[in-house]
Structure 1
């Protein structure tokens, strides 16, 4: 795949970039190694000053950055603006909280005495240069939610971004440079995926984090495992959205539309499988389908647009294959199921709701990365839980109910990294984020995220 900016709204190639050669890759890894030796000794106050400076720059430039993201991957401009604002918030949050999150931990005095020590504590120390392999769907946020905690912990970063968002990738390096971070603290590597193995096997690169497909995660994890290096993986998702009889069905249906089509439906944590109790199924299905049908598909730069194009021609083709497979085996499209009329250029697809989906259909098992929803009817909570867990993924989940016993049942039994009650899944700096099963392992954000790439060092002191 070429490293290029291709506008998904019209298919026009706007800029292409030459990949880095072996000598430049070596120079950058060496710069990261050198930078870490000095940066790791800086104070939290100094790191916070730099992180806040980067946040200030991003806030000032958010409008231009949003237009760049929209041009590169097709998200609506209003969504891109919100993404930039979210990044600013996360950078400031970690600048403010990193020191307390990584403060020394002191065991109880009685436990210390039992070890034979006069004092003992746990110190969190940074690991070194971390390789971040990041996707295109949230080209700014995915990077910042790794970079802000990693840099505040004293690590340095090497970014291998998706090949279709090179301008955003280069902007991120420039942002941290202009904020005052030392040379080598944050570097973008414009390289093809084939270069990842060599970079990760370099002894100076100590760990890796990846957000992306299951296949990419398997590849990076296997290389890192062979090298005995730490990894954090956030992979695909096919999140269930469960609506029970006590729910506010109107609110559940309105939120369901947003939960499905956020980022043009190209989000790992977007709700994808909608499971409604038979007592409220008909009402929910009608309201939800009406909401999906009413969405405006169009130019992502226009304020009135709700759903822009898919990020690539291949992405749309993959989505069409899933829908066509389901329809050919008896599924019904309550709305959508095709390319919208009047769009001769660009990679657009109509918001779609499918019913009658069976386990024999690919879309029942595979992640639909676009504005496609599958809708199921269940007779009770046991069937709802069973269907919700009938997936290889386990990123997050959404449940709508006012019944406390049902809430506790869902929290106990849903196989997911998050359970969001009467609302849609979202990520926030103060809450850990990640999944189970084939959605990956490890956590980003909160105290869990900042400690992923730290050495929890036991300090024991005798008399």
Structure 2
């Protein structure tokens, strides 16, 4: 795949990049290892100062970085700027809390003194996706660098300018050269990187296929991985829910980032008693959204990131329709303009065997299911191979407890939008991956948890 900036709103190729040669990759690996040997001994307070400086740069240049994201992958500029601000937040969170998270943890044993010490492990490879091209990287980098590791970024090939800008931010913030490096390479180079003794672990956010490939390569070398993969998240609305709030949040949950989010609500599972009213309001709000230039502040929905994503999404929609699904709004790519535009779409009345039951729809397509009550809702929610997040709406305390206990997901949000928050661990189960990012659990993923016993 070419490494290039292609404007998804116009299809215009704006800038191309030559992938690194093998000798250039070797030089970066050598620089990473050399940087780690010194950086691991840098005081925690100094690392925190550099990370806070990175947060300052992000905030001061938020519009500049937001425009790069919008130009490369099509998210609305207002959401891109918000993403940059969230990256500053995670930098400050770990700058403020890493010392506590990594402090020696005493344990009472038969020793005179025993404790757990958290130490860095070395260069960590991050294979990152295009959909949140800054946030996905910073939520890895902030804890990894505070722990004393160094980072190697293999970003998606359609966001090279984002990848280079992130490396520039860390350098400008004061981090030593080699502590965080961008590798402009194709996915075919990842297995060789994992086989290199200098790379100690890897994290990947992306598709099931990409995650399985990385995990297989890492497994051959017995190296730690963290995977955050796809999702087909349920959004359950039961009879006692605040319907107005549920519908408004459902629209955001499905269409955030032009519908290209792993933790987007994708399957809307609604109790029969309120389904007609939910459907009517849901469709009205979808139809009212403005589709257009993502740089325009009045735009609600921009283009999908690539022509292939558009093609794959429409194939799923048409396959579902052929199998009996009903289109409530949308349902076809927009042919009245250039670019990768797909309208907000709602499908319902699915037959067994429809893609709606098992596949992830990575775009602005909502799948609306009707159920008799909580038992059927939980069964349907858990019927997928994914388990990333789940949103459920009810004012009944007994139902809340059942949903919290029985939904198979890495996160359950009651009466709220599923989102990532630096203060809470983030990750999935089943085919949505393993391991956790963010919070204290995230910083502990890539450290040596060393037992110390002294007598």
Partner of 2:409: 416
Q: Which runs of no fewer than 5 residues in structure 1 stay unpaired?
A: none
Q: In 2, distance between residues paired with 1:31 and 1:415? A: 43
Q: Does 1:276 align with 2:282?
A: no
Question: How do 1:211-290 residues align onto structure 2 when only pairs under 5 Å count?
Answer: 211-290=205-284
Partner of 1:348: 341
Q: In 2, distance between residues paired with 1:196 and 1:241? A: 35
Secondary structure (helix, strand or coil) at the match of 1:350 reads coil
Partner of 1:383: 376
Tell me the number of residue pairs that the alignment of Structure 1 and Structure 2 aligns.
455
Partner of 2:364: 371
Tell me how far 1:292 sits from its aligned partner.
Answer: 1.0
Q: In 1, distance between residues paired with 2:310 and 2:327? A: 17
Partner of 1:357: 350
**What is the TM-score with the length of structure 2 in the denominator?**
0.99
> Is the 1:197–1:223 Cα contact (8 Å) retained in structure 2?
yes
Q: Does 1:326 align with 2:320?
A: yes
Q: In 2, distance between residues paired with 1:195 and 1:261? A: 33
Listed one character per residue, the Cα deviations across residues 277-308 of structure 1 (whole Å, up to 9, x for unaligned) are 11111111111111111111100000111000
* Higher mean C-alpha displacement, 158-167 vs 30-39: 30-39
Q: In 1, distance between residues paired with 2:341 and 2:304? A: 6
Partner of 2:430: 437
> Is the 1:393–1:436 Cα contact (8 Å) retained in structure 2?
yes
Q: In 2, distance between residues paired with 1:277 and 1:363? A: 18
Q: In 2, distance between residues paired with 1:68 and 1:269? A: 23
Q: Does 1:400 align with 2:400?
A: no
Partner of 1:172: 166
Q: Which runs of no fewer than 5 residues in structure 2 stay unpaired?
A: none
- Structure 2 residue corresponding to 1:449, chosen from 418, 439, 442: 442
Tell me how far 1:183 sits from its aligned partner.
Answer: 1.1
- Structure 1 residue corresponding to 2:133, chosen from 135, 139, 143: 139
Listed one character per residue, the Cα deviations across residues 112-149 of structure 1 (whole Å, up to 9, x for unaligned) are 12xxx111000000110000000000000000000000
Tell me how far 1:200 sits from its aligned partner.
Answer: 1.0
Q: In 2, distance between residues paired with 1:310 and 1:437? A: 27
Question: How do 1:291-306 residues align onto structure 2 when only pairs under 5 Å count?
Answer: 291-306=285-300
Partner of 1:201: 195
Partner of 2:93: 93
Tell me how far 1:339 sits from its aligned partner.
Answer: 2.0
Q: In 1, distance between residues paired with 2:225 and 2:331? A: 38
Question: How do 1:50-65 residues align onto structure 2 when only pairs under 5 Å count?
Answer: 50-65=50-65
Partner of 2:15: 15
> Is the 1:359–1:365 Cα contact (8 Å) retained in structure 2?
no
Tell me how far 1:341 sits from its aligned partner.
Answer: 5.4
Provide runs of 4+ in structure 1 moved above 6 Å.
none
Tell me how far 1:42 sits from its aligned partner.
Answer: 1.1
Q: In 2, distance between residues paired with 1:24 and 1:323? A: 43
Q: Does 1:459 align with 2:446?
A: no
Tell me how far 1:103 sits from its aligned partner.
Answer: 1.1
Q: In 2, distance between residues paired with 1:200 and 1:16? A: 26
Tell me how far 1:322 sits from its aligned partner.
Answer: 0.4
Secondary structure (helix, strand or coil) at the match of 1:333 reads strand
Tell me how far 1:362 sits from its aligned partner.
Answer: 1.6
